[in-house]
Structure 1
Amino acid sequence: MSAFDYVFLGLSITSSWGNGHATTYRGLVRELAARGHRVLFLERDLDFYAANRDMPEPPYCTTRLYRSLEELRSAYAREVRDADLVVVGSYVPEGIEVGRWATRTARGAVAFYDIDTPVTLARLARGEEEYLTPSLIPEFDLYLSFTGGPTLRVLEKRWGAKRAEALHCSVDPGLYAPDPDAGVRWDMGYLGTYSDDRQPTLERLLLEPARRWRQGRFHVAGPQYPDAIRWPANVGREIHLAPREHRAYYNAQRFTLNVTRRDMIEAGFSPSVRLFEAAACAVPIVSDEWPGLETFFVPGEEILVARSTEESLAILQGMGEEQRRRIGERARDRVLAEHTAAHRAETVERLTREILDARARTTSATA
């Protein structure tokens, strides 16, 4: 197997503060390196992340920070030109210009990695062009999407993507695993940044159950929650948890809650990284309902779906310990079989080879 040269232009790999991109890139890049590939990660040096870097020098790739578009162009044109695959991520600062430059400079293939596909497409439909434009999509050889299902065909048919493939989030089983020595502190916990569209579900499935079940213990971890929120007395709070603390957090819960963004629900087939992290810890997940959920976990056997306060409380108060453990263990088995970072690296490697081989055949045919 030949080794490939990859260049990633992503939002961040050095800081997980306030974003879900860093953990995704870390797992993917680490596994690509483990398979013998060379990876350069180029990250815009933003003050917000500079003050909150929990991995300033990832050990499995070369990481370089740049302060401006001009510096990126002048300092890294050769690396982008010579890479086998350049990957431009969503939410990259000045991402439109970065994407244009990458597609014009690279001699190899160029992919767009959309970690926010439903949000991206909703914005494009409204005419908002923050990091991607409709005219730029067909310039990429590959559109990698966190969202699968029908959205992939929408990307190709409506938006002109040459090839759209699902590259869902994943989990590192070396970092996320059951801890038999962990003491259970909460009946239900939730890990997630505040958002207007998720808050009603959090209210329905966690906060209102906490109000009705005063003996229950609950916890919410995540930043940006408004001061106006009235937290029940039996709901603990933590503003930020670094990724290294996530395993302990999940293992301290009897059940963990998954809440999905509105755009993700509408698109369907959009699992969150928290879903796979919790499952890898064998912690039973209580989730809201969204299209495609059953393609990742079997409802009732590997995951629990709650649509109301009453259903959430019924799970928390009525499920026996043996059944609870069995659901968590089944979810872990499913994740280890299908949704690790190693699985995603294999997909990227396969797609790289297919695209480069197709290019070589086209070149030979026209020579």
Structure 2
Amino acid sequence: MKIAFYGSSLLSSYWNGAATYYRGILSELANRGHDITFYEPDAFDRQQHRDIDPPEWARVVVYPATVEALRNVMAEAAQADVVVKASGVGVFDDELLEGLLKSAAPHAIRIFWDVDAAATLDEMRAGPDHAVRRALPDLDMVLTYGGGDPVIDAYRSFGARTCIPVYNALDPSSHFPVPPDPDFQCDLAFLGNRLPDRESRVEEFFLRAAAMLPDRSFLIGGNGWESKAMPANVRHRGHVYTAQHNAFNSTPLAVLNVARDSMAHIGFSPATRVFEAAGAAACLITDAWEGIEMFLTPDEEVLVARDGQDVADHLATLTPERARQIGQAALERVKTEHTYALRGAQVDAILSSHVAAAAAERMEKA
């Protein structure tokens, strides 16, 4: 099938945590014979901070962030069998969703793919006229980055016909163990952009732990932290490109995952970096969130912390041997159960099932 996918960016992870997710799933769909075109706006300096060149498995259309360019790329949706509008494109989100529903061919599968369902649902609850809420009757399905039953139930309560989580995963060809890099040497590393609904949790789980362990070394990577006051034993790295993620995850004694407020509240929403770290055989310490056992087993494949004190306690007693054991166990688990090959197969089956159901419905009416 021809898939027209409108998202934030496939080419750049700069202020765009969904890039790895898009790449993993869409490349697998291409491997299964689907024809992928990804539309992304030239916005937020992402094109100046590309991680990859346009891949062989997708046609990438980078369009100016203007009304005229928006109209042009929306018109191309008419040629597709599957039209996907992702959340968080960043410019003209509402106009894009409304326009794509109008431009899509009558036979096309119309999908809203929510990569931040918790935030979207909060906005929908607060705004009866929210663009996604208005669009639900005309959408064939909602796919989400995660969220489990709480997100499924919430979307159905708003009128979604179908809501299916497609979780993050590992691409073993992109994320894998590598030799240590002195630039990333430390006891605990954290990678994530500075965002309002993440900052207080970083303060608790990372900076508080650093303050409690002044003799241990800490490293924070990501955009926006340069103006943040931090303990003296914390180094700030700035933006870490995708090509550097393996070294960032393989080198430290342990790596920290901190969910954003909304995702931690809903649960069942492992960040992309959980699987990237596990893929590099990192010893992962994660903040506690419901559903972690679906992905990694606590105390065997991941260490779980309720607060900064727990993080400090884990780190104070963690030996290199124990860290290696946990990291290796996590790597084996995600390679077996949580790869993008499996996620691609899931989405392919979802699309095929929808086409079959639509054909059966037409035959009944004939």
- Show the counterpart of 1:310: 309
Asked if the contact 1:118–1:147 (Cα under 8 Å) also holds between the matched residues in 2, the reply is no
| TM-score for both structures, normalised by structure 2 | 0.92
For residues 155 and 313 of structure 1, the distance between their equivalents in structure 2, rounded to whole angstroms, comes to: 36
**Given the superposition, is the C-alpha separation of residues 304 and 237 from structure 1 closer, same or farther in structure 2, using an over 3 Å criterion?**
same
- Show the counterpart of 1:97: 95
**Given the superposition, is the C-alpha separation of residues 157 and 211 from structure 1 closer, same or farther in structure 2, using an over 3 Å criterion?**
closer
Describe how 1:58-207 pairs up with structure 2 within 5 A.
Answer: 58-67=55-64, 68-74=66-72, 77=75, 79-92=76-89, 93-104=91-102, 105-106=104-105, 107-127=107-127, 132-180=131-179, 182=181, 185-207=185-207
For residues 235 and 329 of structure 2, the distance between their equivalents in structure 1, rounded to whole angstroms, comes to: 29
The SS at the match of 1:29 is helix
The SS at the match of 2:143 is strand
The SS at the match of 1:298 is coil
The SS at the match of 1:136 is helix
Describe how 1:202-351 pairs up with structure 2 within 5 A.
Answer: 202-225=202-225, 227=227, 229-351=228-350
Percent of residue pairs bearing the same amino acid type? 32
Asked if the contact 1:284–1:324 (Cα under 8 Å) also holds between the matched residues in 2, the reply is yes
For residues 179 and 222 of structure 2, the distance between their equivalents in structure 1, rounded to whole angstroms, comes to: 25
Asked if the contact 1:30–1:60 (Cα under 8 Å) also holds between the matched residues in 2, the reply is yes
**Given the superposition, is the C-alpha separation of residues 322 and 74 from structure 1 closer, same or farther in structure 2, using an over 3 Å criterion?**
closer
1:167 deviates by: 1.0
1:36 equivalent in alignment to 2:29: no
The SS at the match of 1:363 is helix
Q: Which amino acid aligns with 1:55?
A: I
Deviates more, 1:163-172 or 1:66-75: 66-75
For residues 315 and 44 of structure 2, the distance between their equivalents in structure 1, rounded to whole angstroms, comes to: 42
For residues 272 and 14 of structure 1, the distance between their equivalents in structure 2, rounded to whole angstroms, comes to: 19
Could you list the per-position Cα deviations for residues 239-291 of structure 1 after superposition, in whole angstroms to 9, with x for gaps in the alignment?
Answer: 11111111111111111111111111221111101111101111111111111
Q: Which amino acid aligns with 1:59?
A: E
Could you list the per-position Cα deviations for residues 34-63 of structure 1 after superposition, in whole angstroms to 9, with x for gaps in the alignment?
Answer: 222211111122263233233352332111
Deviates more, 1:290-299 or 1:307-316: 307-316
- Show the counterpart of 1:5: 2
Describe how 1:5-24 pairs up with structure 2 within 5 A.
Answer: 5-24=2-21
For residues 310 and 71 of structure 1, the distance between their equivalents in structure 2, rounded to whole angstroms, comes to: 51
Deviates more, 1:62-71 or 1:10-19: 62-71
1:199 deviates by: 2.8
Q: Which amino acid aligns with 1:116?
A: D
The SS at the match of 1:134 is helix
Q: Which amino acid aligns with 1:81?
A: A
1:182 deviates by: 4.9
1:75 deviates by: 5.4
For residues 55 and 328 of structure 1, the distance between their equivalents in structure 2, rounded to whole angstroms, comes to: 27
Asked if the contact 1:155–1:164 (Cα under 8 Å) also holds between the matched residues in 2, the reply is no
Q: Which amino acid aligns with 1:43?
A: E
The SS at the match of 2:49 is coil
Asked if the contact 2:146–2:168 (Cα under 8 Å) also holds between the matched residues in 1, the reply is no
Could you list the per-position Cα deviations for residues 129-158 of structure 1 after superposition, in whole angstroms to 9, with x for gaps in the alignment?
Answer: 77x331112211110011232234324431
The SS at the match of 1:98 is helix
Asked if the contact 1:69–1:98 (Cα under 8 Å) also holds between the matched residues in 2, the reply is no
**Given the superposition, is the C-alpha separation of residues 124 and 37 from structure 1 closer, same or farther in structure 2, using an over 3 Å criterion?**
same
For residues 240 and 326 of structure 1, the distance between their equivalents in structure 2, rounded to whole angstroms, comes to: 29
- Show the counterpart of 1:57: 54
**Given the superposition, is the C-alpha separation of residues 69 and 155 from structure 1 closer, same or farther in structure 2, using an over 3 Å criterion?**
farther
Deviates more, 1:14-23 or 1:176-185: 176-185
The SS at the match of 1:208 is helix
The SS at the match of 1:253 is coil
Asked if the contact 1:108–1:356 (Cα under 8 Å) also holds between the matched residues in 2, the reply is no
| TM-score for both structures, normalised by structure 1 | 0.92
When you count helix as a share of all residues, which structure comes out higher? 2
- Show the counterpart of 2:356: 357
1:351 deviates by: 0.6
1:337 deviates by: 1.8
**Given the superposition, is the C-alpha separation of residues 330 and 312 from structure 1 closer, same or farther in structure 2, using an over 3 Å criterion?**
same
| Root mean square deviation of aligned Cα | 2.1
**Given the superposition, is the C-alpha separation of residues 295 and 219 from structure 1 closer, same or farther in structure 2, using an over 3 Å criterion?**
same
Deviates more, 1:286-295 or 1:314-323: 314-323
Deviates more, 1:175-184 or 1:4-13: 175-184
For residues 269 and 181 of structure 1, the distance between their equivalents in structure 2, rounded to whole angstroms, comes to: 31
Asked if the contact 2:39–2:73 (Cα under 8 Å) also holds between the matched residues in 1, the reply is no
